[in-house]
Amino acid sequence: MDEEQIYQEHVLDHYEDPYHRGRARHCTHAHEDDNPLCGDTVSIELNIDPQGRLREAYFDGDGCCISQASASMLIEKFDGRTVDEVRRFTAGDMLELFGAKLTPNRQKCCLLPWRVLQSAVFSPVKPAEGAGGKESNS
Amino acid sequence: MTDATCSPPSLDPQTIRGDFPILSKVLHGGVPLVYLDNAATAQRPRQVIQAIVETYEQHYANVHRGIHWLSDQTTDLYEQSREKVRALVNAPTPAEIIFTHGATSSINLVARSWGDANVRRGDEILLTEMEHHSNLVPWRQLAERTGAIVRHVPVTEQGTLDIEAFNALLSEKTRLVAVTAVSNVLGTINPIGEIIAKAHQAGACVLVDGAQSVPHLKIDVQALNADFLAFSGHKMMGPSGVGVLYGRRELLESMPPFLGGGSMIRRVTLDGFEPADLPAKFEAGTPPIVSAIGLGAAIDYLNQVGLDAVTRHEQDLTRYAHEVLGELGELRILGPAPEEKSAIVSFVFHGNRPHAHDVAQLLDRNGVAIRAGHHCAMPLHKRFGVNATARASFYLYNTRQEIDLLARSLQQVRQVFRRRT
Ligand SMILES: Cc1ncc(COP(=O)(O)O)c(C=O)c1O
């Protein structure tokens, strides 16, 4: 049954003991969004160096197990990776990373952090700071 | 307790369940459906489904149009349904019962027609923090069109309306008070009679959102002196796609038509039109004919069971649900005590973990259908500092056993998460 699969160990692990839930020390890029259908929120703070590498990656948020666990998985994967790699990471890749099979409704929960990260890499907190995103093209 | 001779007739949910084909459904290869999402929409008995089938098979044509036998038959059934609705809410005349497409379209009709004609810049529209989006957004839109000001009666920590605040907010500037009779999240039964009397003293009109009350509680628009009452057929065992607007005759007569088209006119020339009399004036186009006839069958069914018996049965279930869910010790139930509310129990786990969506998803394993989310009442959820709640809501066919299963399933939900912490 799908429901059995959703709440598998690795999903619950990320929900109960998330990777990098909190705030970046030197945040250069950040974005926050919600899923208006259910009210789940995810915010992501990044430190992107001039070479376009994510030196720090943190998330925070409030919502269901799916949205919060997928945020943790996503941040764990991209901590230390590059903006280019983020950009190449598709929604399909995100669902695959999550692993458990999801109904279309719950896919929206899973993709919320992915959407936030895609925007965050192009959202400098101060226009002058963080050379990262804008220059890198894939 | 009362002795047997004067105790009112009660209801046997097991007999009633036999009338509802969908309630014998088995899900996920072996678990029976436990339907606890009645505030979203109710199920319908065979009697209503049969009335719909019979109409299509035996009596279907357009209403008020053909000069032929079949059209007369359909028109009769449609008008009989209107009379049943009139009797249900005790409206003075059937002309004051307008068939719409649901509570939402009834409220929008009033906001557009009455609102645009009567509300001016600086006038105030008084709503409450516990309204459904369908009793918030149309008034916000009206305010944007007219420059009127929207105010909201706050909700207390117990989940009731702050009546002192209501008294203070009400003034000679208030043109309209729009309030739900029963909160779709908290279940709170609001003191509609008192609100209407005070609003009238202040010279304001009152629209009552009856979407969550008409299916469950007796309502008498004359005793209440309500100006408008809006509700939906699908929450009271009728078909979807039909709703009702009751309006006091003087008001409906003074209002301009809302939608224009066929049926709502007396005569049309190329230069203009003359609107039809009530209720046709507000029923432009082909109405939801069969849905309205089905709603009539649903009212027959409610009357046959007895609305009072339904109310009492639901009170028992609500009290029982508070008791067994309270025993779990890990839930925060929003809203007032069972005695002060209708058949709705919304809750969150302490600390909002597990989250309402995960709760609903895991309950579904056991066939238990509840709703999770903001239930179209985002401002109310904000008021209580949560972005989602789980909501179990009952109707005449629900049983104590189903509530036991809900409680057991909630324990299992907690187990899924607890073993890890
Ligand atoms: C209190 C309340 N008002 C209005 C509505 C809107 O009803 P409908 O969607 O049938 O138009 C609902 C339905 O959820 C409700 O609960």
Q: Which domains are seen in chain A, by residue range? A: 3-120 (3.90.1010.10)
Q: Which candidate from B355, B365, B381 shows the least CB-CB separation from A3? A: B365
Q: What is the pLDDT of residues B275-318, one digit of tens each?
A: 999 999 999 999 999 999 999 999 999 999 999 999 999 999 99
Residues B365, B402, single domain; the answer is: yes
Q: Which candidate from A1, A6, A39 shows the least CB-CB separation from B28? A: A1
| pLDDT score, position A1 | 42
Residues B287, B333, single domain; the answer is: no
Per-residue pLDDT, averaged over B325-349, amounts to 96
Residue pair B334/B384 in contact by the 8 Å Cβ criterion: yes
| Atom of ligand 1 lying closest to residue B102 CA | 11
Computed on alpha carbons and rounded to an integer, the radius of gyration of chain A in Å comes to 14
pLDDT at A137 over 50: no
Strand extents, DSSP E, B211-279? 228-232, 243-247, 265-269, 272-275
Computed on alpha carbons and rounded to an integer, the radius of gyration of chain B in Å comes to 22
Task: Round to whole Å and give the CA distance between B35 and B43.
Answer: 9
Could you tell me the pLDDT band of residue B4, with boundaries at 50, 70 and 90?
very low
Residue to mutate (ligand 1; options B100, B106, B110, B134; most atoms within 8 A of CB)? B134
pTM value is 0.92
| Atom of ligand 1 lying closest to residue B375 CA | 14
Q: Which of B287, B338, B281 is nearest to B315 (CA)?
A: B338
| pLDDT score, position A129 | 46
| pLDDT score, position B8 | 63
Q: Which of B141, B81, B91 is nearest to B111 (CA)?
A: B141
Token code pair at residue B41: 């929409």
Name the residue range of residue B126's domain.
49-304
Q: What CATH number should be reported for the domain holding residue B361?
A: 3.90.1150.10
Query: Residues near ligand 1 with C-beta < 6 Å?
Result: B 102-104, 132, 134-135, 180, 184, 209, 211-212, 232, 376
Amino acid letter for position B341: K
Residues B107, B256, single domain; the answer is: yes
Å from CA of B195 to ligand 1 middle? 20
Nearest CA in chain A to B376: A37
Q: What CATH number should be reported for the domain holding residue B151?
A: 3.40.640.10
Q: What is the pLDDT of residues A69-101, one digit of tens each?
A: 999 999 999 999 999 999 999 999 999 999 988
Per-residue pLDDT, averaged over A8-27, amounts to 94
| pLDDT score, position A6 | 83
| pLDDT score, position A105 | 85
Please check whether residue B7 lies inside any domain of the structure.
Answer: no
Instruction: Count the Cβ atoms, other than its own, within 10 Å of residue A37.
Output: 11
Q: Which of B128, B80, B320, B109 is nearest to B230 (CA)?
A: B109
Amino acid letter for position B36: L
Please check whether residue B338 lies inside any domain of the structure.
Answer: yes
Amino acid letter for position A31: H
Residues of chain B found within 8 Å of residue A41, distances taken between Cβ atoms? 387
Please check whether residue B40 lies inside any domain of the structure.
Answer: no
| Atom of ligand 1 lying closest to residue B134 CA | 4
Could you tell me the pLDDT band of residue B1, with boundaries at 50, 70 and 90?
very low
Give the closest residue (by CA) to ligand 1 atom 15. B211
Please check whether residue B8 lies inside any domain of the structure.
Answer: no
Please check whether residue B291 lies inside any domain of the structure.
Answer: yes
Token code pair at residue B328: 């779990």
**What is the pLDDT of chain B when averaged over all its residues?**
95
Task: Round to whole Å and give the CA distance between B399 and A36.
Answer: 34
- Interchain proximity B361–A106, CB inside 8 Å: yes
Strand order across the A40-48 sheet? A29-35, A40-48, A54-62
Domain boundary among B287, B304, B321: B304
pLDDT at A136 over 70: no
Could you tell me the pLDDT band of residue B170, with boundaries at 50, 70 and 90?
very high
Please check whether residue B3 lies inside any domain of the structure.
Answer: no
Å from CA of B239 to ligand 1 middle? 14
Residues B91, B67, single domain; the answer is: yes
Catalytic site residue B205? no
Residues B375, B262, single domain; the answer is: no
Q: How many domains does chain B have?
A: 2
Residues of chain A found within 8 Å of residue B355, distances taken between Cβ atoms? 63-65
ipTM rounded to 2 decimals: 0.81
Return the DSSP state at B355: -
Task: Round to whole Å and give the CA distance between A107 and B199.
Answer: 47
| pLDDT score, position A2 | 47
